[in-house]
């Protein structure tokens, strides 16, 4: 049996899930490549690492609004339309970077990155929401086996996305060296045109659209579980970005004398490994049983120990092992953070309403975007004024706060922590 015949023999919902996943993968690959292209190109133009980081400020800031509004749009228009809208906006953002190099001002690039941020969050919200819509109805039930299936689907989608984002970092650097900045942008643009055409042709209309048109005020969740989880997610992602986004690469570059390529490769490998661990989170957590509150808080507490331990170690240029400790700590933090993130992503799909899932997921990822934005700003300010150790201590405090919030999650029946 040929591959096409095998695909056609699959249930309709599975084929739609594969199409959504492929769409999400292609977008993520180009998004990672675009980020590395902008970082490397503007570094070559003489921008400092902090100035390069600021180019992505609007990328994160616009994600806050996009996730909030995008969930509402998904419920009203259908997830297929919001996913395709995200692809279309990414094509516009890429086209904006094809202007002559003399016109690539900071403001222009920030605007293009803002549009790219909107596109990314529309695509992500649509893909995550579609998982709950496309899963067999009994997988949204409460028994351990079906909840475990939901966990595995979400973990696979989330982890593969992050692994591909890391691969996109490599792709961006490779394209830049082979065909230059404009050639690389054109290559990414052509890839996305093909993906959008396939999505418009094959993705089911009205996927996830509510029968009753939701009012805009309904985007603010009234679910206690969703609100608590969103707040915990905000703190969790702020704890990562407060030392990972600006402080760590600048520290390695300035204090330990790493060249830019070495820093970029480390970040790419970290993201790929992080995504790989996310896909395995259900297997990793299978031995842990208890309420969602206990499991969520326990993994957060384990994570909080890592930046606190790093902050106590000698990491500066005067220490021969400083960079080694940082890399080891970064890898350990990434692995434990990946489990936390994957478990959170499963819980939001579990807690989201079956009718109007995109609104709860959009609200949750709005909090995620706020955490990334806060972490990015704190990373630059704390590192500039207090140094890397302060960033690490704040990271530990933010994770501790996330753990305490998680204790307020519903004390429902024992939750499956992974496939049995």
Give the H/E segment covering residue 218: none
* Ramachandran category for residue 78: left, alpha or beta (phi over 0 → left; psi -120 to 50 → alpha): left
Q: Does residue 27 contact residue 163 with C-beta atoms inside 8 Å?
A: no
What CA–CA distance (Å, rounded) separates 330 from 296?
21
Determine the pLDDT at residue 291: 81
Determine the pLDDT at residue 227: 86
From residue 41, alpha-carbon distances to 172, 184, 188, 375 in Å are 10, 11, 16, 24
Q: Does residue 132 contact residue 354 with C-beta atoms inside 8 Å?
A: yes
Determine the pLDDT at residue 102: 78
Q: Does residue 271 contact residue 166 with C-beta atoms inside 8 Å?
A: yes
Determine the pLDDT at residue 193: 92
Report the CATH number at residue 291.
1.20.1250.20
Determine the pLDDT at residue 340: 93
Alpha helices in 78-142 (DSSP H): 79-96, 106-134
Other beta carbons less than 10 A from residue 147's beta carbon: 18
3-state secondary structure of 207: coil
- The whole-number mean pLDDT for each consecutive block of 10 residues of the chain, a chain of 420 residues, reads 58 69 82 81 70 73 75 67 85 91 81 86 74 56 57 70 77 83 91 87 62 54 79 93 82 76 77 83 77 90 94 70 80 92 84 67 81 85 86 95 92 49
Number of domains in the chain: 1
Measured at the alpha carbon of residue 40, what is the angle toward residues 39 and 46, in degrees to the nearest 5?
95
Residue 418 lies in a domain: no
Length in residues, the chain: 420
Determine the pLDDT at residue 413: 43
Q: Is 255 exposed, middle or buried (0-12, 13-18, 19+ CB in 10 A)?
A: middle
Residue 186 lies in a domain: yes
Residue 259 lies in a domain: yes
Determine the pLDDT at residue 235: 95
Give strand pairing partners of 40: none
Residue 366 lies in a domain: yes
Residue 120 lies in a domain: yes
What CA–CA distance (Å, rounded) separates 264 from 173?
9
Residue 151 lies in a domain: yes
Residue 110 lies in a domain: yes
Other beta carbons less than 10 A from residue 309's beta carbon: 15
75's tokens: 């419920």
Q: Does residue 153 contact residue 282 with C-beta atoms inside 8 Å?
A: no
What CA–CA distance (Å, rounded) separates 322 from 333?
16
Residue 67 lies in a domain: yes
3-state secondary structure of 314: coil
Give the helix, strand, coil percentages of the chain, each rounded to 5.
80, 0, 20
Determine the pLDDT at residue 406: 92
88's tokens: 């279309």
Q: Which domain holds residue 34?
A: 11-406
């Amino acid at each position: 049996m040929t591959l096409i015949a095998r695909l056609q023999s699959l249930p309709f919902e599975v084929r739609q899930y594969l199409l959504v996943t492929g769409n999400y993968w292609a977008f993520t690959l180009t998004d990672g490549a675009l980020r590395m292209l902008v970082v490397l190109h503007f570094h070559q133009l003489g921008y400092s690492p902090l100035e390069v980081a600021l180019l992505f400020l609007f990328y994160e800031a616009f994600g806050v609004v996009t996730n909030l509004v995008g969930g509402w749009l998904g419920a009203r228009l259908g997830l297929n339309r919001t996913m395709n809208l995200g692809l279309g906006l990414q094509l516009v953002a890429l086209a904006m970077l094809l202007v002559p190099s003399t016109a690539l001002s900071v403001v222009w690039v920030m605007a293009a990155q803002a549009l790219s941020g909107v596109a990314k969050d529309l695509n992500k919200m649509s893909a995550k929401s579609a998982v709950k819509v496309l899963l067999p109805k009994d997988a949204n039930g409460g028994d351990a086996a079906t909840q475990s299936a939901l966990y595995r689907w979400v973990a696979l989608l989330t982890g593969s996305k992050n692994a591909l984002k890391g691969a996109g970092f490599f792709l961006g650097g490779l394209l830049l060296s082979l065909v230059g900045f404009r050639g690389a942008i054109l290559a990414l643009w052509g890839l996305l045109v093909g993906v959008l055409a396939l999505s418009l042709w094959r993705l089911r209309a009205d996927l996830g659209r509510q029968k009753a048109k939701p009012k805009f005020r309904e985007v603010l969740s009234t679910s206690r579980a969703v609100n608590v989880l969103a707040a915990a997610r905000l703190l969790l992602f702020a704890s990562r970005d407060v030392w990972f986004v600006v402080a760590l690469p600048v520290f390695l570059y300035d204090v330990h004398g790493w060249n830019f390529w070495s820093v970029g490769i480390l970040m790419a490998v970290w993201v790929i490994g992080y995504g790989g661990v996310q896909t395995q989170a259900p297997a990793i957590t299978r031995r842990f049983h208890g309420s969602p509150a206990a499991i969520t808080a326990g993994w957060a507490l384990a994570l909080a120990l890592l930046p606190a331990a790093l902050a106590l170690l000698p990491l500066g240029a005067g220490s021969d092992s400083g960079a080694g400790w940082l890399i080891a700590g970064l890898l350990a933090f990434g692995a434990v953070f990946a489990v936390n993130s994957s478990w959170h992503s499963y819980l939001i799909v579990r807690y989201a309403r079956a009718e109007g899932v995109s609104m709860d997921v959009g609200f949750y990822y709005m909090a995620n975007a706020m955490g990334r934005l806060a972490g990015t700003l704190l990373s630059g300010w704390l590192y500039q004024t207090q140094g890397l150790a302060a960033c690490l201590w704040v990271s530990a405090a933010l994770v501790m706060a996330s753990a305490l919030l998680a204790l307020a999650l519903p004390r429902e029946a024992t939750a499956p922590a992974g496939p049995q």
